[in-house]
Structure 1
Amino acid sequence: MWTRAELKDRAKAVLRSNYWQALLVSIIIALVGGGNRGSGGSAGRDAGGISGNNPEIYQILIVIGIVFILFRIFVGYQLEVGGRKYFVKSAQGDINFNYVGFSFKNGYTNVLWTMLYKAILIFLWTLLLIIPGIVKSYAYRMVPYILADNPQIDYNRAIELSNQMTMGEKFNIFVLDLSFIGWYILGMLALIIGVIFVMPYEDAANAELYLVLRKKALDSGLCTYEELNLSSQDNYSF
């Protein structure tokens, strides 16, 4: 059984040796639209204040939106998965910034389609009702981490395994997310830019969470070492 305090303590211990590099990786993840830090809705509120007498502005916003979506799909997914790999490997003592770009050379197409499939599923569940969409976002939370271990894993299997890993853990993960709110509020008070410096802490803690859930899945036979491209030495001791 894991606790928030233990995950955070381990995350802080890792960041003592690589904080500034981890900060850069977290910024990359955030810029490409990854991570669990929501910023949805702001574009809609901004657009709402634009006069209908300026249709050109709407056209520009649509073009920008399309460009960002394409960037997110063809580049962002790869960088997000690579960023997750960086944090997971750092938690295991292997600190190497090159992990950020690893999926461009390893399983690019499969990573793209699996992450896109995940996004579509969450979108469809959200169309049904907001709450199911949120629940499924937690159910599929481990997909980029699973891809970080094995970028060639079947897309259905990645979704299934993430669902199994988070079974019975969603509320605990939700509370873990809530535990960072205080830090983000302090960051906003520090001229907003302080928010940036909290991101590596949250990303490192989420990597620790994945390692715990991965160990649980391996020990219970939900997956194998071979399926995740792991050796027995990669099992996590918590």
Structure 2
Amino acid sequence: MMWTRAELKTRAKSVLKVTYWKSFLVSIILAIVGGSGGGSSSMRARMGNETGANFLDEYNYSNGDFNGFGNEIPFDSIMDGEMLAYLLAVFGIIALIALLVGIALRIFLGYPLEMGGRKFFVQSSRYGADLNYLGYGFTKGNYLNIVKTMFFRDLYIFFWSLLLIIPGIIKSYSYSMVPYILADNPQMETDVAIQMSMNMTKGHKFNMWVLDLSFIGWYILGMIALGIGILFVLPYENATKAELYIELRKEAIESGLISAHDLVES
């Protein structure tokens, strides 16, 4: 029997009735390690503009010269081509370092936490909420396999996205069950986990996309309260996605697409 959005959401609500605040905490962590945290660029821009305005107020310049330093400093000699190139190079290096640090944190910290967060939501539906599941990816000697498998999942999605946007979106749904599969069996080989996710989602990707669309209204409502309300929608979506995995897992086993034995940690 095909799953329905209403059924998954009803189950998720039942789970959240007794696990909401733990689920809320895990959802915040998942949002952070998933790279979906909001920035404060507009605030920084305003601060930058105000700082620049104050500087010009204090040190008025005319005819290309700064006044107020006690002597004249030619403006053109400071902001010449060499200085501009130097500043661009410095900013470029800083940006590159920040990018590499962010990628490293995503891979070595974010991937295990993402898998642990998915395990938390699945286990909350099965047995009850336990925050210890969040650190599951760092234990039992499975860390490197989890990092490797999750890395290749994102790498494959990235390569597909280089072709066209649509293939990248489709593949993101095809590989979306990988962290849940690793949560059941973190020792599973990379290619097996990815193929199993593809088998689970076969024939379901369009409905999964529609399921995602069904949360847009909730997120719009969440943005009304200065965006804070969005944080309270995250547990609802994560719990629903866990119910989706449970249902897809069940259907795939019953149809012979996957073996239940493969989803048990040895």
Provide TM-score, normalisation by structure 1: 0.87
Deviation at 1:224? 2.0
User: Separation in 2 of the partners of 1:87 and 1:14?
Assistant: 9
The aligned residue for residue 129 of structure 1 is 164
- Residue in structure 2 matched with residue 24 of structure 1 by the alignment: 25
1:156 aligns with 2:157: no
What is the alpha-carbon distance in structure 2 between the residues aligned to residue 205 and residue 178 of structure 1? 13
Deviation (angstroms), 1:58: 3.6
1:77 equivalent in structure 2: 111
Provide the residue aligned with 1:143 in structure 2.
Answer: 178
Report the residue type matching 1:31 in the other structure: I
Shift of the 171–39 alpha-carbon distance from structure 1 to 2, 3 Å rule, reads: farther
Deviations 1:17-53 (A, max 9, x none): 011110110111110116xxx689x99xx99xxxx95
Is it true that 1:7 corresponds to 2:8 in the alignment?
A: yes
Q: Which residue of 2 aligns with 1:64?
A: 98
What residue is the counterpart of 1:33 in the other structure? 34
AA aligned opposite 2:171: K
Question: Does the CA-based 8 Å contact 2:117-2:133 persist in structure 1?
Answer: yes
Deviation at 1:143, TM superposition (A): 0.4
- Which residue does the alignment assign to 2:132? 98
Separation in 1, partners of 2:233, 2:94: 33
Whole-angstrom distance in 2 between the partners of 1:167 and 1:211: 15
Range with greater deviation from structure 2 (218-227 or 95-104): 218-227
Q: Whole-Å Cα distance in 1 between the matches of residues 252 and 37 of structure 2?
A: 31
- Give the superposition deviation at 1:62: 2.2
Match of 2:151 in 1: 116
Matched, 1:168 2:169: no
Higher gyration radius (CA): 2
Q: Which stretches in structure 2 are left out of the alignment for 5+ residues? A: 46-80
Q: Residue 186 of structure 1 aligns with which residue?
A: 221
What is the CA–CA distance in structure 1 between the aligned matches of 2:190 and 2:37, rounded to whole Å? 26
Taking the aligned partners of 2:138 and 2:20, their CA distance within structure 1 comes to 25
- Structure 1 unmatched ranges of 5 or more: 231-238
The corresponding residue for 1:234 is: none
- 1:204 aligns to 2:223 (yes or no): no
Q: Secondary structure at the match of 2:154?
A: helix
Given the two structures, how large is their TM-score scaled by the length of structure 2? 0.78
Q: Does 1:228 align with 2:263?
A: yes
Matched-pair identity in %: 56
CA distance in 2, matches of 1:19, 1:89: 14
* Alpha-carbon displacement from aligned partner over 1:182-233 (angstroms, at most 9, x marks no partner): 0001111111111111000000000000000000111122222221017xxx
| Number of residues of Structure 1 aligned to a counterpart in Structure 2 | 220
* Deviation by residue 1:77-105 (Cα, 9 ceiling, x = unmatched): 00000000000000113211000001111
RMSD, aligned CA: 2.2
